[in-house]
Amino acid sequence: MSIATAKDTRDTERGSRRLILDHAARLLRNGGYHRATLREIAEAVGIRKASLYYHFASKEEIVEEVVNDGVRFVHEAVVAALAETEGAAPRERLEAAIHAHLAALHGHGDYTSASIKVFTFGAGPVPESVRAVRRAYEDVWRGLIAELQQAGALPAERAPDALRNFLLGALNGSTDWYRPERFRIDALAREFSELLSPAR
Amino acid sequence: MSIATAKDTRDTERGSRRLILDHAARLLRNGGYHRATLREIAEAVGIRKASLYYHFASKEEIVEEVVNDGVRFVHEAVVAALAETEGAAPRERLEAAIHAHLAALHGHGDYTSASIKVFTFGAGPVPESVRAVRRAYEDVWRGLIAELQQAGALPAERAPDALRNFLLGALNGSTDWYRPERFRIDALAREFSELLSPAR
DNA sequence: CCTACCGATCGGTAGG
DNA sequence: CCTACCGATCGGTAGG
C-alpha cells in the first residue's frame, strides 16, 4: 500500500491530461472540432464526460492544447535538425529540415493532423496562443529560407514569402496523401529538397 | 402578368438550388461539415429549414454537391488553359495550368475552400462521387507531369507521384494564406512554375 | 473523479 | 414552399 505524495499526484494529473489529449487529438483528426465530442473523448479515456472538467476548463482549452502541441512537435524537431547540421552544406540543411518536418508530422500524426484540420475554432476567433505558436514556427523557416537564398541553394530571385508558403503547404498537404506503406519519408525529403535545390 | 411555363419552373428550381449551394459553400468554408447547419443555410437563403428538403434529400447531398462543384471549377479551368496552350512551350503550359488552378481556386473561393476543408463527411465514408471527381482532376495533372518530364521541363528523375502531390498540396494550401491584397495570382503562378522549372 | 441534470440545438419528418 | 413537431445529442453545471 502506497501513500500518495504531492509529486505522485502531479505525475498522475499530468498523465491523465496527456491521455485525454491523445484521444482528443485522434478524434479531432478524424472529425474536426464539432464532431469530436466531449462524450467520445471521455469514453475513449474511460471516464465520464463531466470528469473532463476536472482537468480542463472547456472543450476549447482541450482543442487549443492539442493544436499547439501539434505545431510544437514539428517546430522542435526542425530546430533540432538545424542544430545538428549547423555548418553543413546549405542543401543538406534544407533536406534535414524537410525530413524533420515530415518525420514529426507523421510521427505525431494525430496531433499534427488535428492541428492542420482545426483552424476554425468553436465560436470565437482562433486563440492568440495558437496564432503565436504558428508564427513562431514560420519564423524558423523564414530564417532558413533567407540563409539558403543568400547561399545560393535556393534561387535568390524568388519571393521568400511565396517560397515559404509554397513549401510549407506542400509539406503539410502530405497529411492528405502520405501512407507509410506507399512512401518513405527519407525518400520524400530527398525528392522535395532536390526539386527545390537541384544538385548542379 | 406572366404565366409560368415548364421551362420557367425548371429555371427557378435551378436558381434556388444554386442559391442554396452558394450559401452552403460559404458556411462550409467557414465552419466545416458539422458547423454549417441547415438552419443557417436556410436563414441565409431566406427560407425555412424544412424547405431545403424540397430541393435536396439530405444535408449530405448538399455538401456533396458543393464539394464536387469546387473540384469541377478548378478541373475545367485547368483543362481549358491546357487546350489554349496546346503546342506551346512546356514551361508555358505549366505556368498556364498553375495559373488556372490558382485563379479558379480563389475565383470560386467558397466552393473550393469548402471542398478542401470538408474531406470528412457526416457519418459514413467519403461518397464515391467525391472520390471519383477528385481522381479525375488528379489525372489531368498525372498527364501533364508525364508530358513535362518527357519534355525535360520537369526533372525526369523525380518521382511523378511525389511531384504531383507536392505541387497540388502547395497550390491548395494557398487557401490558408492567399489574400488578394497581398499577392497577385499571375505573380504567384510565375514564381511557382519557375521554381519547379527554372529557365536555363 | 462521480450521478444527475440543464437549456440549446441538431437533422429530419408529417402533413399540408 | 410552410407550420409544427420529433428524438437525439451537444457543451456545460450543480453538488457531492
Q: Could you state, in order of their start, the residue ranges of all structural domains in chain A?
A: 3-196
pLDDT at A167 over 50: yes
Which pLDDT value is given to residue B118?
86
Bases in strand C with any atom closer than 7 Å to a protein CB: 1-4, 9-15
Burial class for A24, CB neighbours closer than 10 Å (0-12, 13-18, 19+): buried
Helix segments in B36-158, DSSP class H: 38-45, 52-55, 59-84, 90-107, 109-117, 128-151
| Span A54-71, average pLDDT | 97
Footprint of strand D on the protein (CB under 7 A): A 34, 36-40, 49-50, 53, 58-60; B 12, 16, 45, 47-51, 53-54
Distance B24 CA to D2 C1' (A): 21
User: Which nucleotide lies closest to B51 by the C1' atom and the CA atom?
Assistant: D1
Q: What residue ranges of chain B have pLDDT lower than 70? A: 1-11, 122-123, 200
Which pLDDT value is given to residue A10?
57
Bases in strand D with any atom closer than 7 Å to a protein CB: 1-4, 9-15
Which pLDDT value is given to residue B10?
57
Please report which helix (H) or strand (E) contains residue A24, including its range: helix A6-35
Pair B34, A40: CB distance under 8 Å: no
User: Which nucleotide lies closest to B38 by the C1' atom and the CA atom?
Assistant: C11
User: Which nucleotide lies closest to B35 by the C1' atom and the CA atom?
Assistant: C10
- Which of B196, B188, B195 lies closest to B99 in space, CA to CA? B188
Which pLDDT value is given to residue B81?
98
Phi-psi domain of A152 (left: phi exceeds 0; alpha: psi -120 through 50; beta: other): left
Question: Is any atom of nucleic acid chain C found less than 7 Å from the CB of residue B61?
Answer: no
Read off the C-alpha cell for A109.
500524426
Highest CATH level, class, for B3-196: mainly alpha
Question: Is any atom of nucleic acid chain C found less than 7 Å from the CB of residue A50?
Answer: yes
Which pLDDT value is given to residue B121?
73
pLDDT > 90 fraction of chain B, expressed in percent and rounded: 84
Distance A57 CA to C12 C1' (A): 33
| Span A180-199, average pLDDT | 95
Listed range (A9-23, A75-89, A107-121, A138-152) with the worst mean pLDDT: A9-23
- CA B181 vs CA A24, A163, B185: distances in Å: 37, 18, 11
Distance A60 CA to D13 C1' (A): 17
Which pLDDT value is given to residue A12?
72
A155:B195 CB<8 A: yes
Nearest CA in chain A to B166: A170
